[in-house]
Structure 1
Amino acid sequence: MSEEKAAPQSAVVIKKYANRRLYNTSTSTYVTLDDLSAMVKSGTDFLVYDAKTGEDITRSVLTQIIFEEENKGTNLLPINFLRQLIRFYGDSMQAFVPGYLEFSLENLGKEQEKFRSQLLEAWGGDALKAMQDTAQRNMAMFGDAMKVFNPFAAAMGGAVPGAPAPGKPAQQGSASGSRDDLQALKDQLAAMQQKLDTLTNK
């Protein structure tokens, strides 16, 4: 009995021909590695067999999918992990590695679902939008804080305290002008202090 005949009925059977083309027997269509990657992500179980020998080559095809994803720039596997994995080949611990990795990834998947559930519970259906809104609010608060610590900046529309209004010449040597400038600066500092107090109380 070939390995193909022993395949579970729930799994989609993919045949790989000598020309490297992949054939989905359930849909009677040729598929690509990207199609198989999408099937994995959607939870569709499949097995790949050599069309000529009936040998199960699922492992090598899945490895090829990972290789293609890494080449696209989706660097999921750290270099140190790959080096350590290579060292385990032929090592006395080799037999324990597959079970350990499978157990670890299953736990990671469970934690991933828990994290998603917590996001949905905390922020409702559109968790991503809520996170973006929170980030925008934080950036706005940061911008306000920068204005507070810049006493000569435009906290009120970009005007510098004591600067002459557009179209008005500066009054040189005027005592009243100096007093006005000093009072404007005091008012500006008081406004900034009030804004700082508001930020720190949020």
Structure 2
Amino acid sequence: MTNEKQPVTIKKYANRRLYNTGASAYVTLEDLAEMVKVGEDFVVYDAKSGEEITRSVLAQIIFEQEGKTGQNLLPIRFLRQLIRFYGDSMQMLVPSYLEFSIERLTSDSQKFREQFEAAVSANPLANPLANPLAVPTRQMFQSMEEQARKNMAMFREALDLFSPFSGQAGDVGKNAQASHELTEMRAQLAEMQKRIDSLVKKD
């Protein structure tokens, strides 16, 4: 038995209304956004078909949040690059890398907050919240760029640890195929590193 809390079930009806079965109440996308922020997990199902549609609902929440003034988290360059990855040979690596990177950013968020606050204290005009035309200090960008490089290095190490070469010696054909696939993934990672460098470097 486990004491792990199960996700709340949300049902979406044809009229686009969302029903929280745990609270026995209708909710809005804003309510679901608040649930995410406080760490309350949920799964969304289409009330008619029973199909899980959590991904599309989360994407809709992001779309709504992005539409609010001053809450844009997804740069246009990032969105364009993300679209280019669809159907690309590296598509299979993108979700894992983005998930890995956002987890690292979350774990290091306090450090970045402290650096940001220190930068703003030293130079109030560098605060983009107080001055939308200003750009945060180069030091902070360099720190984030360095973190992106570390993320890639750790991602490569994780890929190496996942190497499926520990099978039986007789599985020559299987190991050879695995070796080929790992080589391809490493090549894809190298290409991804080049693309990331082009995104994080600022003139």
Q: TM-score, length-normalised on structure 2?
A: 0.53
Q: 1:161-181 CA distances to partner (integer Å, 9 max, x unpaired)? A: xxxxxxxxxxxxxxxxxxxxx
SS at match of 1:95: coil
- Aligned twin of 1:78: 75
- Aligned twin of 1:107: 104
Deviation at 1:133, TM superposition (A): 8.6
> Structure 1 CA distance, aligned partners of 2:42 and 2:88?
30
Q: 1:93-146 CA distances to partner (integer Å, 9 max, x unpaired)? A: 111100000000000001113456x69xxxxxxxx8x9999889xxxxxxxxxx
Deviation at 1:75, TM superposition (A): 1.0
The answer to whether structure 1 residue 13 and structure 2 residue 13 are counterparts is no
SS at match of 2:45: strand
SS at match of 1:55: coil
> Structure 1 CA distance, aligned partners of 2:64 and 2:5?
28
SS at match of 1:20: coil
- Letter of the structure 2 residue corresponding to residue 81 of structure 1: F
- Aligned twin of 1:154: none
Gaps of 5+ in 1: 1-7, 120-127, 137-202
The answer to whether structure 1 residue 30 and structure 2 residue 26 are counterparts is yes
SS at match of 2:108: helix
Matches within 5 A, 1:137-148: none
| Structure whose alpha-carbon radius of gyration is higher | 1
Q: 1:3-62 CA distances to partner (integer Å, 9 max, x unpaired)? A: xxxxx9610000000000000000000000000000000000000000011111000000
Q: TM-score, length-normalised on structure 1?
A: 0.53
The answer to whether structure 1 residue 48 and structure 2 residue 80 are counterparts is no
- Please list every run of at least 4 consecutive aligned residues from structure 1 whose deviation after the TM superposition is greater than 4 angstroms: 130-136
> Structure 2 CA distance, aligned partners of 1:9 and 1:110?
22
SS at match of 2:43: strand
- Aligned twin of 2:85: 88
> Structure 1 CA distance, aligned partners of 2:34 and 2:108?
22
- Aligned twin of 2:167: none
The alignment covers a number of residue pairs equal to: 119
Give the 3 Å change call, closer, same or farther, for CA 96–132 of structure 1 in structure 2: closer
- Percentage identity across paired residues of the two chains: 66
Give the 3 Å change call, closer, same or farther, for CA 108–18 of structure 1 in structure 2: same
Deviation at 1:76, TM superposition (A): 0.7
- Letter of the structure 1 residue corresponding to residue 26 of structure 2: Y
Gaps of 5+ in 2: 125-203
- Aligned twin of 1:62: 58
- CA-based RMSD of the aligned residues comes to 2.4
